[in-house]
Copies of this chain bind each other. A is one copy, B any other.
Amino acid sequence: MELETRAVAVNEKGLIGIVRYKLSADEDEIILRTIEAGICGTDKDLAMGNLPQLKLPPGQDYLIIGHECKAEVYKAPPDSSFKEGDIVVPMVRRGCGICRLCKLGMPEYCESGEFKELGIIGVNGCFSEFFKDELSALIKVPKGVEDVAVLAEPLSGLEKAMDQILSFQRGRIPWRCDDGSMNCRKVLIIGTGPIAFLFAMLAKSNGFNNIYISNIRELRKDEIILVNTLDLKFYNSKDGYLQLYKEIGPFDLVFDTTGLPSVAAEVLQYMNYNSVLLLYGFPRKDDTGILRPKIMNEIVYKNLGIIGSVTGPKWGFEAALNHLASWKSQYPTVLDIFLKTKISFDEIPDYLKRPKFNEIKVIIDFNK
């Protein structure tokens, strides 16, 4: 089968624009029709020519971007477990085929660094009307979650992050409180982007109830609705976190979405004994954090754990779809706000050039 299709492409210098190309597939290959895709900071970095990790697919002089995808099976291989019309989301990280962890099906912990990533490193992504992919990288979306499945990808990496947090703590202390709940534990989330709010929901689904979310600016209208609906507390951190620490005491779990060294160095002073700082963000501006002896003392003396975590495993996508199904019932308003800004395929280049979004999330609607 051969199809003519349009896609958004970049190269090392940044956005090329919309390209047309021919997609041809053998009988045993799958063709997917993109339904929705999310734009994330990485896409904007790619469009600006600012992502050193970028790799063009072998023999190609551009990369089609897009890694937060929801697609429909347009042509299924005859004897596969997929059939036309199935809704799927593709994984982002693809195993290197060399290291023992990738061979085990754990590319999220690839040891060689030779992994690929959909729409980022060596594999064309889904800002394309149609695309092809490996069968083993596709997760079927269960009925009833299809409308929100475009959020599975950004959530999948958070599932891995939370798993590392809980597993690390389980291995050393009983972290729950005397009443069996997590009510005595305080969570601080740094940032108010979509990742921050998705993590807040994930924390709630894991029993955390005292959740603070912070930004150095005041909240916008939609963000206020999210904070209220999710029963979070907002903290304006333009003067740092000392004031929050004085008010509520030390933090048990800090989740950072900014990647800023200065922020990490500051919050490490306000952590509780046996607490965890999860680093998830990549810094997007130059910034410096000063590690002083006092901070090193705190890390040791308080048994702190600092964990970096990146990308989502296959089980993370599965777990994400289950959590999204749960949040559809529990926080429909929240998912509505996440999904309400829908742009058309033709608008992508324009949006990629905007330095920042005021919307919680921008979704490309390929049917628009």
Within 8 A of B (CB), among A136-189: 136, 142-145, 163-164, 167-168, 170-174, 176-182
A:333-360 near B, CB below 8 Å? none
Taking a contact as CB atoms under 8 Å apart, the answer to whether B305 and A283 are in contact is no
Beta-carbon contacts of A190-213 to B below 8 Å, as 1s and 0s? 000000000000000101000000
C-alpha spacing A259/B106, complex, angstroms: 34
| Cβ A299 vs Cβ B288 within 8 A | no
Beta-carbon contacts under 8 Å, A78-117 to B: 100-101, 103-113
A259 closest partner in B (C-beta): B296
Among A136, A178, A327, which residue has the most Cβ atoms of chain B within 10 A? A178
Stretch in A20-28, A216-224, A314-322 touching the partner: A314-322
Shortest distance from the beta carbon of A18 to any chain B beta carbon, whole Å: 30
Interface residues of A in 257-285 (CB under 8 A from B): 259-262, 264-265, 272-274, 279-283, 285
B295 with A261: CB separation less than 8 A: yes
Nearest CB in chain B to that of A135: its residue: B179
User: How many residues of chain A have a CB within 8 Å of chain B?
Assistant: 90
- Determine the distance from Cα of A332 to Cα of B325 in the docked complex, in whole angstroms: 11
Contact call A291/B293, Cβ cutoff below 8 A: no
User: Is A279 within 8 A of B292, CB to CB?
Assistant: no
How far is A14 from B225 in the complex, measured between Cα atoms in Å? 53
Cβ-defined contact, B292 with A261, below 8 A: yes
A286 adjacent to chain B (CB < 8 Å): yes
Q: Is the CB of B332 within 8 A of A100?
A: no
Additional A-B contacts beyond A104-B176, A303-B310, A326-B326 (20; CB < 8 A)? A100-B178, A106-B174, A109-B273, A144-B329, A171-B171, A176-B315, A180-B314, A207-B318, A261-B292, A279-B300, A280-B300, A282-B296, A282-B300, A283-B293, A286-B293, A290-B290, A300-B309, A301-B308, A304-B307, A325-B326
Where the two chains meet, the residues of A that have a C-beta atom closer than 8 Å to any C-beta of B are 100-101, 103-113, 136, 142-145, 163-164, 167-168, 170-174, 176-182, 205, 207, 259-262, 264-265, 272-274, 279-283, 285-293, 295-310, 313-315, 318-319, 322-323, 325-332
Subset of 15 A-B contacts with CB under 8 Å: A101-B174, A105-B177, A107-B180, A108-B303, A111-B272, A164-B303, A167-B170, A167-B171, A207-B318, A259-B296, A260-B296, A262-B291, A290-B290, A301-B308, A301-B310
